């Protein structure tokens, strides 16, 4: 099986590369904005392109319910439906099935029975259903159906999830995919290194076009998360793209890249934007703070994003406090730029053999008090 | 007093012209998007420019309270503050003082005492205060402080408003203005032709750079509104710009132009966008309607706006029903384009001597059942 991914440069554990998709190549490391319901919240596709986004996420669970996978299929697939002319990665719905509040959820080896968060109707998600939905959505990358337990559960629960994730990976992989659609497997195992090893061996044994590390954005502490990540990426084939699911705060992105991760997604930039906060070097600022009421400076001095080149903190604060949509738009644009630009800088740094400098810069500007809150905000689903 | 306005073409009662402002020339007839709180809701300045907007409104009442006129003054005026590099017209606050729900409102010849809708604090608006606020805002066009009674009040009340509007016009005109700032007077008088005549004579007697017809977007029926408008514009000097306040639905725009009006503003396009509706020839459609769920066509076939060239009704309906901000953004963009494009077509038609054709086209496509609701939605303040 030939790999759709090729490495163009390495620098320590960090890699730069290119992932070929049906909608064109994606340079890595890459940050993928999250468009849960086929829309990156408050953004239009042309703006995402202008910011340098090359691939976006969409979610099979939500689109299955609204507006429906068959409709999106009839209207040309999720990319055409949403006016985005680049690649789309679809999450399988596994994370949502386990993390959203459902009544009467029942898990067995066949799949998961639950009630829809939209209307309470009964549904049964299986690997076969999840792959069929993604086939109908015609995404460029389809994720295997997995079981993702929350942080802090006992080992037996994690072990059961690893076992099922293995079974479901094989069944996911056996399903037909849309033309040109890549299939990625997901490694689970919490922060238990033995279970991670077992899961990685099983998932790699099935054989996928790329591999994701799941279950590391569900509430665990940063240090064990990074240790687990490092141990896991070492078990994944070097010639396949690696995707760290749900992590994409600035330090998480850089530390993930340092451990050989190529792809990231996170709701942090869009969620922070909608709640009135801007990412700045070392942390974030909340524009509702009265200190910004008369502040004529941009969000970040020297930032090249459309928000920072055209508007002051005072104006954005005015918009946010008055509930003007343009305020959260400007913050969302800035925050997405912050992550997309950081990934672009990482690509350039790896190619130039200077990734350690960038890593030190990000670590140096990080203030520990900000870390915690930024990392926490990144761990919630975007809906 | 030389006029900042010159007529470049006439066609029947319709005129095309150019209004010179401190931020450059504005071709008329012109539709002015409403940016009540120094932001056209859900839009950024670059998008307004791309849609062909050349002048926007802002509101002295709201900006006086939030974020404060002094702050905007310190940050360079309302245009620079909001990132808009073109002309801004500021409403004086008169309309808001009389139309928003205030406790303890008391009107006398000095001004209006009321409590702020923001925090209940006591304030006293006078012509002097209203002009000072607009001077601090450094708008290109400052409106005189007027009394604008609602439709349906008795003649004595309208007559009192006309008398005060005359007194206040003289006091407004006597106030200093920002450098290059034009001052417009406002004619009141309800739908009473005698009172309109009296008001027009008084306001023209004071002498302004341009003249507005106020009080015709407060709930009256269309026919008496247009009759009153026609009688009023005939009393205004031909060499000054004429502004019909608060009217800007497609038919109102065209019928106003036919009666010699040059400038229009209306919250209709932005308000309809936020509530899920799109302007279409002859009326509007509500995207929440289930009929659009599988509709792969654009909002309006052949429309050149960014929403219609990139997205289907089905996608926009999906966004609206899922409360995605991008949905109301796309509808707002389309609706603003609809009015801005109609004004541009009117300018071209007048220059070509074919305005009657455009007027017939708009009247012909209008379905009476849609008129009523469109006209109603246009009569509310945008906040």
DSSP per position, A148-217: -PPTT--HHHHHHHHHHHHHHHHHHHHS---TT-EEEEEE--TT-HHHHHHHHHHHHHH--SEEEE-SSS
pLDDT by residue for chain A (383 residues), tens digit each? Answer: 689 999 999 999 999 999 999 999 999 999 999 999 999 999 999 999 999 999 999 999 999 999 999 999 999 999 999 999 999 999 998 888 877 765 557 889 999 998 888 998 999 999 999 999 999 999 999 999 999 988 889 999 999 999 999 999 999 999 999 999 999 999 999 999 999 999 999 999 999 999 999 999 888 899 999 999 999 999 999 999 999 999 999 999 999 999 999 999 999 999 999 999 999 999 999 999 999 999 999 999 999 999 999 999 999 999 999 999 999 999 999 999 999 999 999 999 999 999 999 999 999 987 444 444 444 444 444 44
Name which of A259, A146, A153, A240 is nearest A199 in CA terms: A146
The string of DSSP codes covering B126-156 is -HHHHHHHHHHHT-SEEEPP---PPTT--HH
Known active-site residue B109: no
Tell me which residue has tokens 């992590």.
A247
Q: Which residues pair with B31 in a beta bridge?
A: B264
Whether residues B190 and B309 share a domain: the answer is no
Angstrom distance (rounded) from CA B97 to CA A194? 70
Specify if A379 maps to a domain: no
pLDDT in tens, A321-353: 999 999 999 999 999 999 999 999 999 999 999
Name which of A200, A63, A56 is nearest A129 in CA terms: A63
Q: Which residues pair with B277 in a beta bridge?
A: B286
- A44 to B325: CB separation less than 8 angstroms, yes or no: no
- B310 to A83: CB separation less than 8 angstroms, yes or no: yes
Tell me which of A39, A84, A314, A336 to substitute to probe the interface with B (most B C-beta atoms closer than 10 Å): A39
Tell me which residue has tokens 């504005």.
B26
Give the closest of A40, A45, A66 to B322, CB-based: A66
Angstrom distance (rounded) from CA A19 to CA A9? 13
Domain extent for A310: 272-374
Residues of chain B above pLDDT 90, percent? 86
Check residue B337 and give its pLDDT.
98
pTM for the model stands at: 0.96
Whether residues B245 and B292 share a domain: the answer is no
Task: Find chain A residues with C-beta within 8 A of B306's C-beta.
Answer: 44, 46
Q: Is B379 a residue whose pLDDT tops 70?
A: no
> What phi-psi label fits residue B125: left (phi over 0), alpha (psi between -120 and 50 degrees) or beta?
beta
Angstrom distance (rounded) from CA A367 to CA B1? 62
Angstrom distance (rounded) from CA A30 to CA A257? 10
Check residue A360 and give its pLDDT.
97
Compute the nearest-CA separation of A113 from chain B (Å). 24
Whether residues B312 and B221 share a domain: the answer is no
Specify if A237 maps to a domain: yes
Specify if A345 maps to a domain: yes
Whether residues A312 and A239 share a domain: the answer is no
Whether residues B40 and B138 share a domain: the answer is yes
Chain A positions contacting chain B at CB under 8 Å are 37-46, 66-67, 71, 74-75, 81-83, 293-294, 296, 306, 310-312, 314-315, 317-319, 321-322, 324-330
Q: Mean pLDDT in chain A? A: 93
Whether residues B306 and B179 share a domain: the answer is no
- The sheet with strand B263-265 has its strands ordered as B30-32, B263-265, B241-244, B210-213, B182-187, B141-143, B88-91, B56-59
Task: Find chain B residues with C-beta within 8 A of A43's C-beta.
Answer: 326
- Do B272 and B246 touch, CB atoms closer than 8 A? no
- The sheet with strand B24-28 has its strands ordered as B5-11, B14-21, B24-28
Specify if A380 maps to a domain: no
Domain count, chain A: 2
Check residue B376 and give its pLDDT.
47
Instruction: Exactly one of A11, A146, A262, A265 is catalytic; name it.
Output: A265
Angstrom distance (rounded) from CA A220 to CA A217? 7
Domain stops at, among A267, A292, A320: A267
Task: Find chain A residues with C-beta within 8 A of B308's C-beta.
Answer: none
Tell me which residue has tokens 């604008």.
B148
Compute the nearest-CA separation of B75 from chain A (Å). 7
Whether residues A83 and A181 share a domain: the answer is yes
**In angstroms, what CA-CA distances link A380 with A95, A265, A266, A268, A348?**
11, 12, 9, 9, 30
Per-residue pLDDT band for B377 (boundaries 50, 70, 90) equals very low
Tell me which residue has tokens 């990144």.
A378
Compute the nearest-CA separation of B23 from chain A (Å). 17
Whether residues B149 and B110 share a domain: the answer is yes
Specify if B366 maps to a domain: yes
Check residue B98 and give its pLDDT.
78
Q: Mean pLDDT in chain B? A: 93
Token duo for residue B360: 């017939």
Specify if B379 maps to a domain: no
Task: Find chain B residues with C-beta within 8 A of A321's C-beta.
Answer: 66
- B329 to A328: CB separation less than 8 angstroms, yes or no: no
Q: How many other β-carbons are positioned within 10 Å of the β-carbon of residue B294?
A: 16
pLDDT in tens, B126-177: 999 999 999 999 999 999 999 998 888 999 999 999 999 999 999 999 999 9
Check residue A93 and give its pLDDT.
86
Angstrom distance (rounded) from CA B196 to CA B242? 15
pLDDT in tens, B265-314: 999 999 999 999 999 999 999 999 999 999 999 999 999 999 999 999 99
Instruction: Exactly one of B11, B91, B209, B262 is catalytic; name it.
Output: B91
Q: Is B367 a residue whose pLDDT tops 70?
A: no
- B314 to A81: CB separation less than 8 angstroms, yes or no: yes
Give the closest of A71, A82, A326 to B44, CB-based: A326
Check residue B102 and give its pLDDT.
59
Specify if B381 maps to a domain: no
CATH code for position B44: 3.20.20.105
The string of DSSP codes covering B308-369 is HHH--HHHHHHHHHTT-HHHHHHHHHHHHHHHHHHHHHHHHHHHTT-HHHHHHHHHHH--HH
Instruction: Exactly one of A11, A91, A262, A382 is catalytic; name it.
Output: A91
Whether residues A258 and A276 share a domain: the answer is no
Tell me which of B318, B328, B330, B383 to substitute to probe the interface with A (most A C-beta atoms closer than 10 Å): B318
Compute the nearest-CA separation of A52 from chain B (Å). 18
pLDDT in tens, B303-362: 999 999 999 999 999 999 999 999 999 999 999 999 999 999 999 999 999 999 999 999
pLDDT in tens, B209-266: 999 999 998 888 999 999 999 999 999 999 999 999 999 999 999 999 999 999 999 9
Instruction: Exactly one of B11, B140, B249, B265 is catalytic; name it.
Output: B265
Q: How many other β-carbons are positioned within 10 Å of the β-carbon of residue B126?
A: 17
Task: Find chain B residues with C-beta within 8 A of A330's C-beta.
Answer: 44
Domain stops at, among A267, A299, A332: A267
Whether residues A283 and A260 share a domain: the answer is no
Specify if A114 maps to a domain: yes
Check residue A377 and give its pLDDT.
46
Q: Is B368 a residue whose pLDDT tops 80?
A: no
Give, as one character, the DSSP assignment of residue A343: H
Chain A residue with the nearest C-alpha to that of B327: A42
> What phi-psi label fits residue A24: left (phi over 0), alpha (psi between -120 and 50 degrees) or beta?
left
Give the closest of B42, B312, B322 to A75, CB-based: B312
Name which of B95, B98, B93, B33 is nearest B69 in CA terms: B93
Domain stops at, among B219, B239, B266: B266
Q: How many CB pairs under 8 A join A and B?
A: 103
Helices marked H in chain B — which ranges?
Answer: 45-50, 60-65, 69-74, 78-82, 94-99, 127-137, 155-174, 193-206, 222-233, 250-258, 268-274, 306-310, 313-321, 325-351, 355-365, 368-377
Known active-site residue B91: yes
Whether residues A246 and A276 share a domain: the answer is no
Check residue B381 and give its pLDDT.
46
Q: Looking at per-residue confidence, does B368 or B84 come out higher?
A: B84
Token duo for residue B17: 């012209």
Compute the nearest-CA separation of B360 from chain A (Å). 36
Whether residues B82 and B118 share a domain: the answer is yes
pLDDT in tens, A60-113: 999 999 999 999 999 999 999 999 999 999 999 888 887 776 555 788 999 999
Tell me which of A315, A316, A333 to substitute to probe the interface with B (most B C-beta atoms closer than 10 Å): A315
């Amino acid at each position: 099986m030939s790999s759709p991914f090729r490495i163009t440069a390495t620098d320590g554990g960090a890699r730069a590369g290119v992932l070929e998709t049906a909608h064109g190549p994606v340079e890595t490391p890459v940050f993928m904005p999250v468009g849960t319901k086929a829309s990156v919240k408050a953004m239009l596709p042309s703006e995402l392109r202008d910011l340098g986004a090359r691939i976006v996420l969409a979610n099979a669970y939500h689109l299955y319910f609204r507006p429906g996978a068959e409709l999106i299929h009839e209207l040309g697939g999720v990319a055409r439906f949403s006016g985005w002319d680049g690649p789309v990665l679809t999450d399988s719905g596994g994370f949502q099935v386990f993390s959203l509040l459902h009544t009467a959820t029942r898990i067995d080896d066949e799949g998961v029975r639950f009630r829809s968060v939209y209307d309470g109707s009964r549904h049964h998600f299986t690997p076969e259903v999840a792959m069929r939905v993604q086939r109908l959505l015609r995404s460029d990358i389809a994720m295997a159906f997995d079981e993702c337990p929350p942080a802090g559960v006992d080992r037996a629960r994690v072990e059961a999830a690893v076992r099922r994730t293995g079974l479901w990976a094989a069944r996911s992989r056996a399903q037909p995919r849309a033309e040109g659609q890549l299939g990625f497997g997901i490694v689970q195992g919490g922060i238990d290194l033995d279970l991670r090893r077992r899961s990685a061996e099983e998932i790699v044994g099935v054989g996928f076009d790329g591999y994701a590390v799941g279950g590391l954005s569900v509430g665990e502490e940063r240090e064990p998360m990074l240790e687990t990540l490092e141990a896991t990426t070492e078990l994944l084939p070097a010639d396949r793209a690696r995707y760290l699911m749900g992590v994409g705060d600035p330090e998480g992105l850089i530390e993930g890249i340092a451990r050989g991760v190529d792809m990231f997604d996170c709701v942090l930039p869009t969620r922070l934007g909608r709640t009135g906060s801007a990412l700045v070097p070392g942390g974030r600022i909340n524009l509702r703070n009265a200190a910004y009421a008369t502040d004529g400076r941009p969000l970040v001095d020297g930032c090249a994003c459309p928000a920072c080149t055209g508007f002051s903190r005072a104006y954005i604060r005015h918009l946010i406090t008055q509930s003007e949509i343009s305020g959260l738009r400007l913050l969302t644009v800035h925050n997405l730029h912050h992550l997309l630009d950081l990934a672009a800088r990482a690509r350039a740094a790896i190619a130039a053999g200077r990734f350690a400098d960038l890593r030190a810069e990000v670590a140096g500007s990080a203030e520990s008090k900000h870390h915690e809150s930024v990392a926490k905000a990144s761990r919630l689903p975007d809906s």
